[in-house]
Structure 1
Amino acid sequence: MTLLETAQLIVRILLAVVFVAMGALHFVPGPARGMAAMIPPALRIVSPRTLVAVTGLCEIAGGIGLLVPATRVAAAICLAVFLVAVFPANAYAAGKTDRFGVFATPLVPRAILQVVLIAACLFCAV
């Protein structure tokens, strides 16, 4: 295994743990309520609780998909797209710690984190 392959494996495992853990939080009542409240009014086409459950399943499936050789590239790309898709909710909640608690990361650090996570996903896809 080359150094690049080893680095990709480590990043894949770390991302898988992060995405599966975060996805699981979508099904814990307290955090799920907080996440549902973070969904901007303009995106509430469907029930916020339903959107939270669907995004949780996406994170869990993507995390697991990173560990399966046949799906790792597709999972990595889908997770990168997913991170772009959920950013409006993070931007909506940014800085509103009184309302969203720990999920209200200030906008600039959250945007940087999103870019780093997207880059890590794409690193796993090459």
Structure 2
Amino acid sequence: MSTMTFLDLQFALRILLAIVFIGAGITHFRPAVQRTMAAMIPPRLRVAGPANPRNLVIFTGVCEIAGGLGLLVPATAALAGVALIVFLAAVFPANAYAAAHKKRFGRVAIPFWPRLIAQLVLMALIVLAIL
């Protein structure tokens, strides 16, 4: 009977996180999701041109997919993990904006404090996965 080592648990955690991020990233290419996520970008961060809200949603989807895939490759797992932590911090203003506008975003608008705690827990899990 074998027992799982810390490295086995780390690898399993990287697989789980990869599934979460790749799955979330794929949703960014669904038109209805794009509209909702684009609307979540706070007005002060909206710009015209190539960095418009819809393109930012597509870009963040690509980032999530790339980060998730990067977690699966030992040579890139640490870099991907750091990039995903930065990513989570970068997209938090959109989540906070949605939380402040519950009537507009409905169930997508997770309340601020639970969302912040969830983001921090996810960041901590990423750190554990790439140590």
TM-score after normalising by structure 2: 0.91
The residue aligned with 2:26 is: 24
Offset, 1:3: 1.9
Alignment check: 8 A CA contact 1:36 1:52 kept: yes
Offset, 1:101: 2.7
The residue aligned with 1:76 is: 81
Alignment check: 8 A CA contact 1:65 1:75 kept: yes
Residue 9 of structure 2 is aligned to residue 40 of structure 1:
no
Q: What's the CA shift string for 1:2-51, capped at 9, x where partnerless?
A: 62111111111111011001101110011111000000011112210010
The residue aligned with 2:16 is: 14
The residue aligned with 1:123 is: 128
Query: CA–CA distance in 2 between the matches of 1:100 and 1:24?
Result: 20
- The code of the aligned residue for 2:26 comes to A
Q: Which runs of 5+ in 2 are unaligned?
A: none
More displaced stretch, 91-100 vs 17-26? 91-100
Alignment check: 8 A CA contact 1:95 1:105 kept: no
Offset, 1:83: 0.4
Query: CA–CA distance in 1 between the matches of 2:107 and 2:20?
Result: 16
- The code of the aligned residue for 1:3 comes to T
Offset, 1:102: 2.8
Query: CA–CA distance in 2 between the matches of 1:103 and 1:20?
Result: 19
Q: Which runs of structure 2 are paired with 1:42-121 in the superposition (5 Å)? A: 42-45=44-47, 46-121=51-126
- What count of residue pairs does the alignment treat as equivalent? 126
CA RMSD of aligned residues (A): 1.4
- The code of the aligned residue for 1:24 comes to I
TM-score after normalising by structure 1: 0.94
Offset, 1:95: 4.9
Identity among equivalent positions (%) equals 54
Deviating beyond 4 angstroms after TM superposition, the runs of 4 or more aligned structure 1 residues are: none
> Which one has a bigger Cα radius of gyration?
2
Alignment check: 8 A CA contact 1:62 1:76 kept: yes
- The code of the aligned residue for 2:27 comes to L
